[in-house]
Amino acid sequence: MRSSSALPMNRPRAVRVVKVVDEAKDTRTLIFEDELLSKAEPGQFAMVWVPGVKEMPMSISYMRGRLAGVTVKRVGKGSSALYDRGVGSLIGVRGPYGKGFRPVRKKALLVGGGVGLAPLLPLAERLMEFGRPTLVAGAKSREGIPFFDRARRLLGDKVVFVTEDGSFGEKGLASDVAGRLMDGFEVVYTCGPEAMMRKLYELAKEKGLEIQASLERFMRCGFGICGSCAIGPFLVCKDGPVFDKGMLEAVEGEFGSYSRDRCGRRIPI
């Protein structure tokens, strides 16, 4: 058996940023060349290292030819350092890691909140072969909606924008708007704030719909060694990050209630 460090995806690669796209307030996509990440499945993630600062998991938001991209929202030290990497700068990448979304030939509703839309855009592109899916794209306000043009170009009037302050699209919460639309669909794919995903899970259960949700937990190794991202019987990095309905049922006590910090202490969600 090969040791885990011998697997190609576990080898750290230095890549140069070739393009930066401003997506929304404090949110940008960094595009670079990487053979392995460019072939990732929607919903898989990369471990992205900013030299001297931090390594972080990031959903792969862009795969085209030999190019791949991650979309970062500036929130703390690591994400701010990554956000500031301009064209020409070097970053380190490992991956792709985890189990992504399983595209199924069913009437699909995608629901994303803020930077949680990152893995849903490649998924929407993949789902086009089964017919155009509907996307509910939510944010606090208009300036917080990433991938605006990309979503519109791909999905046309099948994108429903929702803002909490009503500055664009429908006013309210993405989960409420999605809940009203759900009856016309067979499967829900979601990524974003966990409270939103928990609500969608409850609604999907009530209405008998399939659901796949991409979860976020503190991660260190990214491939199932360290155990930092444990939730119930699962490791988010290896068994997820995308959880299906059965997996979500198994972690009902934690999902939407609490996560854990780097020391394993519970943090309420």
Ligand X SMILES: Cc1cc2nc3c(=O)[nH]c(=O)nc-3n(C[C@H](O)[C@H](O)[C@H](O)COP(=O)(O)OP(=O)(O)OC[C@H]3O[C@@H](n4cnc5c(N)ncnc54)[C@H](O)[C@@H]3O)c2cc1C
What is the token pair recorded at 170?
A: 């429908």
3-state secondary structure of 57: strand
260: contact with ligand X by CB under 6 A: no
Residue 106 to residue 109: CA distance in whole angstroms = 9
CB of 260 vs ligand X, minimal distance in Å: 12
76: contact with ligand X by CB under 6 A: yes
Residue of the chain from 30, 37, 50, 56 that contacts ligand X (CB under 6 A): 56
Give residue for tokens 């090969």: 2
Listed in order, strand segments (DSSP E) in 65-218 are 67-73, 90-97, 108-113, 134-139, 159-163, 170-171, 187-191, 210-214
75: contact with ligand X by CB under 6 A: yes
What is the token pair recorded at 106?
A: 């069913």
The residue (of 102 and 106) whose beta carbon lies closer to ligand X is 102
What residue number has its CB nearest to ligand X?
Answer: 76
Interface mask (CB under 6 A) for ligand X, residues 103-142, using x and -? Answer: ------------x--x------------------------
CB of 186 vs ligand X, minimal distance in Å: 26
The residue (of 121 and 162) whose beta carbon lies closer to ligand X is 121
Q: Give the count of residues interacting with ligand X (CB under 6 A).
A: 22
Phi, psi of 26 (to 5 degrees): 60, 20
CB of 118 vs ligand X, minimal distance in Å: 4
Give residue for tokens 């053979």: 35
Does an H or E element contain 149, and which?
A: helix 148-155
17: contact with ligand X by CB under 6 A: no
31: contact with ligand X by CB under 6 A: no
Residue 20 to residue 43: CA distance in whole angstroms = 21
69: contact with ligand X by CB under 6 A: no
**Contact in structure between 175 and 199 (CB atoms under 8 Å):** yes
The residue (of 69 and 103) whose beta carbon lies closer to ligand X is 69
Asked, as a colleague might, if the bond just before 268 is cis with ω within 30 of 0, I would say: no
CB of 20 vs ligand X, minimal distance in Å: 14
Give residue for tokens 């995608």: 110
Segment near ligand X (CB under 6 A), from 57-65, 136-144, 202-210, 246-254?
57-65
CB of 213 vs ligand X, minimal distance in Å: 12
Q: Nearest-CA neighbor of 22 among 35, 13, 31?
A: 31
Interface contacts to ligand X, rule CB under 6 A: 45, 54, 56-59, 70-73, 75-80, 115, 118, 216-217, 219, 241
